[in-house]
Amino acid sequence: MYASKLVTITSGKKEYVLDATRILYVQMKRNDAFIHMSDGELYDIRVTLRELREILGSGFLLAHRSCLVSARAIHGITDTINLINGEKLEYTVRRKRQLREELQVWRASFIKDHEQRNAPATPEGYRAHYASFDNMPFAFTDIEMVLDGQRQAVDWVFRYGNDALARLEKVPLDQLIGHSFGSIFPNMDGKWLRCYERAAFLGETLELIDYSPEIDTYLKVVCFPTFTGHCGCILFDIKNINYARSSPDADRALALYFGYEEATDRSSLPHVN
């Protein structure tokens, strides 16, 4: 997993301490920096672009004269800069080749600098590491991201999986482990790839609730970083999950879960029987 990189930005008499690894991009409006974080938080800090580039250091690319983008947050560069959270940013077109080269150089350096020596080297090693998951009633897998020549994630390989995973995916375990998802499911949906990439390279823990056309199943997936370039995934078939409302506080818990933190009137909160 990747360590945080805390930076301090002084604006007037106020200091902001931010984790640079959680910054997606910065939009400048004169001397106001609007800093977009991977958790959705937005900071408006008065600081110049030059000062901000010195504070953040390497790893941030200049998309145009008023926008800095975190290299680790970029999924790819086409006619827009495509971030791993699905956002798309405009950039100066004449800088396309330079931006791609800078991104490739950064990714190669980052992967080399963060290469883990403690990741299992064999399937047996992964099985030993995750032995406690073998008989769990839920599906679990450790996946390793597959990068192309541009160091862009294009697929993933199953490094470990339990029997519950094989049942959920409807594929024998020996046909999953060591194989890429795209080779097993040619109709691979990129929405999963983008989220797993966030967990593997931004160190986020994410929950996905979506339809999987590959196995014709609605899934709940919790993914989180494990080894460098890997993420662990706990998967549930939604139809097999029953919600238990255990106390009156459940409404408040649901409000927090669905992002209604400011809701105070219980009658306005989502209700689940």
**What is the CATH code of the structural domain delimited by 123-240?**
3.30.450.20
- DSSP notation for the chain: -----EEEEEETTEEEEEEGGGEEEEEEETTEEEEEETTS-EEEEE--HHHHHHHH-SSEEEEETTEEEEGGGEEEESSSEEETTS-EE---GGGHHHHHHHHHHHHHHHHHHT--SSS-SSHHHHHHHTGGGTT-SSEEEEEEEEE-TTS-EEEEEEEEE-HHHHHHHTS-GGGTBTSBHHHH-TT--HHHHHHHHHHHHH---EEEEEEETTTTEEEEEEEEE-STTEEEEEEEEGGG------STTHHHHHHHHTT-TT---GGGS----
Domain with CATH 2.40.50.1020 in the chain: 6-113
Q: What is residue 58's predicted lDDT score, i.e. its pLDDT?
A: 82
How much is the pLDDT for 233? 98
Please identify every stretch of the chain with a pLDDT value under 70, giving residue numbers as ranges. 1-4, 111-117, 150-151, 260-273
Residue range(s) occupied by CATH 3.30.450.20 in the chain: 123-240
pLDDT at 1: 47
Class of domain 6-113: mainly beta
pLDDT tens for 32-62 read: 999 999 888 999 999 999 999 999 988 899 9
User: What pLDDT sits at residue 273?
Assistant: 43
- Model pLDDT, residue 117: 56
Q: What is the pTM of this model?
A: 0.69
